[in-house]
Structure 1
Amino acid sequence: MSSPQQTTTDGPWTVRRVLEWTTGYLKEHGSETPRLDAEVLLAHAKGCPRIHLYTSYDETLPEAVRASMREMVKRRAEAEPVAYLVGHREFFGLDFQVTRDVLIPRPDTETLVVEALEALKPLSSPRVLDIGTGSGCIAVAIAANNPVAQVTAVDASAAALDVARRNVEHHGLADRVRILESDLFAAIANSDPFDLIVSNPPYVADGEMDQLQPDIRLHEPHSALVAGPDGLNVIRSIIEQAPARLRPEGALLLECSPEQAAEIQSLFAACPQYEQIRVIEDLAGRPRVVAARRRNPD
C-alpha cells in the first residue's frame, strides 16, 4: 500500500493531507465511514482529542505519528474495527475501554438504556440486573445516569468481565455496579429479586454469520453474537427464567434485531407471568427493544 511516510513533491505530510489520503484509501477498501475513521485514528496516533485536528490542519506530522498511523490504516483496511484499534468507544456520552473479548458498543443499544432509565424513574432505590454485560456499557450508563440504582452486571466470559470491571472503576461506580461471573441467571439467587432486568443478548442466527459485515464477522466475539438456528436461543432462556428473579411488576427489556421483535412478543405472550408487552423503536424507527412486566400474582 502507498503510505504517508515521507515528504514528496506534493509537499509534507500535514494533518490535512494525511486525513485526505487516509479517507480515500479507506473508502477504496470498503469503509462506510472513511473520514470519521481517518480522524479517530489520527487523533489516537497523535494522542489528542479529535476536535484538535480541525485547528492543526497545516501541522506537519512527525515520523512516529506517521508510522503509527500507517499501521492502523493497514489494519483498518483489512476490516479490523476502529474501536479495537484505538481501544475505546463512546456510548451514551461515556467513554468505554474495549478489547476483542467484548462486543463494540453501538448506538442502537442506547435505545435500551433510554428505556431502562425511564422505567427506573419512579423507583427510590432500584435494583437492576444486566445480563451478558460485555464491556459493561449498559450497566455503567444506567448507574451513571441514575444515582440511586444498584446494578449487578453478569457475563459468562471472565475476560469480558475484566473489561467491564475496568470500565466500572474508570467511571467511579464500583460502589454501585457489582461484577459477577454467571451464565445468564446461574449465579443469581431467587431470594432478592430485581426491579429491572436488561440484556443485549446474542441474537444472530447460525446461518446469518456469513452475511454480517467483515469487521463484525472477522473480529468480534462470536459467542456474544450467535444464538442458535433462529438467533433466539438465549432470548428464550431469559424470558423463561427471568420471572423468578423479577419482583412483581418488575420489567424485562431485551434488545433484538427488528426482524425478531414480533416473534419475541409471541414468546412473552406465551408466558402467563408477563403483561404489558410492547415494542420500542430506535431513532431510525425500527423495532429494537421488546419490553414486558412481570404480572402481579395478587
Structure 2
Amino acid sequence: MKVCTDACVLGAYANVAGDRILDIGTGTGLLALMAAQRNAEASIDAVEIDANAFEQATGNVTASPFADRVQLWKGRIQEFSGNGTLFDRILTNPPFYTNHLRSPDVAVNRALHTDELPVEKLITAVSRLLQPDGQWWVLLPPYETLKLTEMAQKASLYPFQQLALKHHANKPVFRFITGFSYQKNSLSEETLDIYETDGRTYTTAFRDLLRDFYLIF
C-alpha cells in the first residue's frame, strides 16, 4: 500500500501523549508506528479490517523496534472492545468518498470509500473508546471535515486544533488535520505548505515536522 504524505503529516503533528493510543484503520501500520516512535511509553492498539493490509501492517510492526508495544487487531472498529480500555489518544485517517467511481480493487474501495465505516459509526466508536479527557485526531478533505465536525459536535466532540494542508502557498487547502475533545475550547488554526511555490522543494516547516521520519531529510 502507498504511504501518503498527508498521513505522514498526521502522524507527526497529532498529539500522542498518554499511555494508550488507538489507530483506527491502520493500513500499513504507519500511524501506529509513528506514534510508537514519538511516545516511548505508550501502548498502541491498531485496528484494520482488510486482510492484505493487516498482513502488511503485521510485517511492518514485526520488523520495527516497536513490536512489543503495538498490538494489531483484525476486524471492524465497531466490534473492537479494547478489552474495556479507554484510550488517551485516537488517530484516524478514514475513508471519505461516498458517491465516487469505484475501483475494481476491493481493498482500494475499503481504503477510500465510507461503505465499511460510515461517519456516524466512526463517531460512535470514538465516543465509546475515548477517555473523558482524551483527544481524537482525524485527517479528511475540507468538505468532509465540515460534515464530520457538525456530526461530532452532536456527540459532544468539539474541534480544538486544526492544521490546514496545502501543496504550496498558491494552492487551496486539500486536507485538514483536526483534533477533537469533549471540552469546548476556541479553535487554534495553523497552515502547513508542503512545497515551496516551485512545487518541488519542501518547505522548511515541512522538513522540520517530518525530519525524524523522512530519511531524505
TM-score for both structures, normalised by structure 2: 0.72
Match of 1:221 in 2: 108
Indicate whether 1:247 and 2:131 are aligned: yes
User: 1:283, CA displacement in angstroms?
Assistant: 4.7
Seen in structure 2, the aligned counterparts of structure 1 residues 159 and 287 have a Cα distance that, compared at 3 Å, is closer
Q: 3-state SS of the aligned residue for 1:269?
A: helix
User: 1:294, CA displacement in angstroms?
Assistant: 2.9
- Is the contact made by 1:261 and 1:279 (CA closer than 8 Å) also made in structure 2? no
Q: How does 1:37-116 map to 2 (within 5 A)?
A: 98=1, 104-116=2-14
Seen in structure 2, the aligned counterparts of structure 1 residues 131 and 159 have a Cα distance that, compared at 3 Å, is same
Indicate whether 1:209 and 2:101 are aligned: yes
Give the distance between the partners of 2:166 and 2:42, measured in 1 at CA: 25
Aligned mate of 2:48, from 126, 148, 155: 155
Structure with more contact order per residue of length (Cα contacts < 8 Å, sep ≥ 6): 2
- Is the contact made by 1:153 and 1:180 (CA closer than 8 Å) also made in structure 2? yes
Q: 3-state SS of the aligned residue for 1:175?
A: coil
Which runs of no fewer than 5 residues in structure 2 stay unpaired? 168-172, 185-217
Give the distance between the partners of 1:191 and 1:142, measured in 2 at CA: 21
For the aligned residues, what is the CA RMSD? Answer: 2.4
Seen in structure 2, the aligned counterparts of structure 1 residues 256 and 191 have a Cα distance that, compared at 3 Å, is same
Aligned mate of 2:144, from 246, 251, 260: 260
User: 1:153, CA displacement in angstroms?
Assistant: 0.6
- Larger gyration radius, structure 1 or structure 2: 1
Greater fraction of residues in helix: 1
User: 1:151, CA displacement in angstroms?
Assistant: 0.7
Q: 3-state SS of the aligned residue for 2:84?
A: coil
Aligned mate of 1:292, from 164, 174, 180: 180
- Is the contact made by 1:269 and 1:277 (CA closer than 8 Å) also made in structure 2? no
**Could you give the per-residue CA deviations for residues 118-161 of structure 1, whole angstroms, max 9, x where no partner exists?**
x234x4xx211111111111111111222122110111123221
Q: How many correspondences in the alignment?
A: 178
Indicate whether 1:280 and 2:163 are aligned: yes
Give the distance between the partners of 2:149 and 2:161, measured in 1 at CA: 7
Which runs of no fewer than 5 residues in structure 1 stay unpaired? 1-97, 99-103, 211-216
User: 1:244, CA displacement in angstroms?
Assistant: 1.8
Give the distance between the partners of 1:234 and 1:226, measured in 2 at CA: 9
- Is the contact made by 2:32 and 2:46 (CA closer than 8 Å) also made in structure 1? yes
Give the distance between the partners of 2:145 and 2:9, measured in 1 at CA: 14
User: 1:218, CA displacement in angstroms?
Assistant: 5.8
- Is the contact made by 2:50 and 2:110 (CA closer than 8 Å) also made in structure 1? no
Identity of aligned residues (%): 22
TM-score for both structures, normalised by structure 1: 0.54
